[in-house]
Structure 1
Amino acid sequence: MSVLPLVFTSGWASGVNAYAVVLLLGVFGATGVSDDVPQTLQRPEVLAVAAVLFLCEAVADKIPYVDSAWDAAHTVVRPLAGAWVGALLAGQSGSLPDAAAAALGGSTALASHAVKAGTRMAVNTSPEPFSNIVVSLAEDLGVAGIVTFAIFHPVAASFVAGALLLTGLLVLYFLVSRIRRFLRRRAQRREERRLGASPWPPPPG
């Protein structure tokens, strides 16, 4: 069977939480749940690093503004992780060229990362912090559910991932104005901190 659906789904999930994808796939392979998981992902050191980084993301992802800073730092990490996992899955199955799988996984991860980062910017415009926790938990559960589903039903899971990606892009389009307000407010706060740290008062007028 072609590994294409699993590559696409893992790419989407990597754009949301790359460490969870590596950890889940590795655990499924190491425990014998799936024979489609490459040995590289099952290595103890890979699982240990993924687990630690997943815990770090689980905390950072639930704190307003910290989550957006974390997303910015992972703009490169998540697409690279999606490409890496895709290439490994292709190499394991032999049904898809590694380069093509890496391109698919990386581009899908980049798209879903953009949706996540943009949505978080919009969420951070809310004055209360609880929405960050709710959204973060929904993302964590969504990634866990879709990756698990993909192990047993890769084609169906790829359709779900595609629908989620398309929906997220549409929502992001309508949130652009709110994101712009968030960026303006963040720039204003930086300017206020800069002026507050200055030893001289700002000039009048």
Structure 2
Amino acid sequence: MSAVEIIALAASFSLLSGWRLYFTLLVTGLAMHFGLIALPEKLAMLDVLANPWVMVVATLGFIAELFADKIAWIDSIWDGLHTAIRPLGGALLALAIVDPGQAEWQVITFLLGGGAALLSHGVKASTRAVVNTSPEPFSNVAVSAGEDVAVAGVAGLALAFPMAAMVIAVAMVIASIICLAALRRVLRRMFGAATERQKNGGA
């Protein structure tokens, strides 16, 4: 991979960790284990991501997240607990993939990776909180399943075509923000209409 492709791969995985941290950690560990991602020599300590025990823990976290994310309000509690964990995971993923060379670039890479994960986590958590206000339970499962498919697809694409994956990951963030705004408008109208009916009924 070229330097630009490696940066694109790191950016994609950092953004994806804001949606599915444990899955992204597992994919990164497996990719490092099988040599699909070459670990920078200056950051060899991060080969811990390819450690079998770490991958087992990541697998267990992925399974727990897979189910917790599909239960209304449990998903928001889960998101709240991971507000600090996901950005840290995204920052470590960026460090594990990119060889910054100098200490100042290590700090910049760490901050950018954490910032990308925090951005996608914030959009995800906000969107799910809005979806949870819906009176029916199926929208929550549908949104979660859509995230599962999208994250898995982009992660696989990132290993083969990093630049394309980065564009799609950024587009996912933008699309999520647009959907969040639309959901808020729809729910505001729904609750406004319900409140108006209650007032008219009370009169």
In 1, Cα distance between equivalents of 2:176 and 2:152: 18
In 2, Cα distance between equivalents of 1:7 and 1:29: 13
| 1:114-166 Cα distance to aligned partner (Å, 9 max, x none) | 11111111111111212211111111111111111111111111111111112
Question: 1:115 corresponds to which letter in structure 2?
Answer: V
Question: 1:121 corresponds to which letter in structure 2?
Answer: A
Residues 1:25 and 2:28 are matched in the alignment: yes
> For residue 37 of structure 2, what is the aligned residue in structure 1?
35
Per-residue deviation at 1:177? 5.7
In 2, Cα distance between equivalents of 1:8 and 1:54: 20
Per-residue deviation at 1:13? 0.2
Residues 1:11 and 2:14 are matched in the alignment: yes
> Runs of 5+ in structure 1 lacking a partner?
182-205
Per-residue deviation at 1:6? 1.1
> For residue 73 of structure 2, what is the aligned residue in structure 1?
65
Which structure 1 residue ranges, 4+ long, deviate > 4 Å from structure 2?
Answer: 93-96, 176-181
Do the aligned residues in 2 keep the contact of 1:90 with 1:97 (CA within 8 Å)? no
Change (3 A) 1:102 1:176: farther
> For residue 167 of structure 2, what is the aligned residue in structure 1?
159
> For residue 156 of structure 2, what is the aligned residue in structure 1?
148
In 2, Cα distance between equivalents of 1:118 and 1:178: 15
Question: 2:81 corresponds to which letter in structure 1?
Answer: A
Q: How does 1:50-199 map to 2 (within 5 A)?
A: 50-91=58-99, 94=101, 97-176=105-184
Give the structure-2-normalised TM-score: 0.80
In 1, Cα distance between equivalents of 2:186 and 2:166: 30
Do the aligned residues in 2 keep the contact of 1:14 with 1:78 (CA within 8 Å)? yes
Per-residue deviation at 1:111? 0.8
In 1, Cα distance between equivalents of 2:156 and 2:32: 12
C-alpha RMSD of the superposition:
2.2
> Runs of 5+ in structure 2 lacking a partner?
40-45, 190-203
Question: 2:33 corresponds to which letter in structure 1?
Answer: A
Question: 2:108 corresponds to which letter in structure 1?
Answer: A
Q: Percent identity of the aligned residues?
A: 39
In 1, Cα distance between equivalents of 2:30 and 2:54: 10
Give the structure-1-normalised TM-score: 0.79
Change (3 A) 1:180 1:6: farther
Do the aligned residues in 1 keep the contact of 2:37 with 2:97 (CA within 8 Å)? no
Question: 1:27 corresponds to which letter in structure 2?
Answer: L
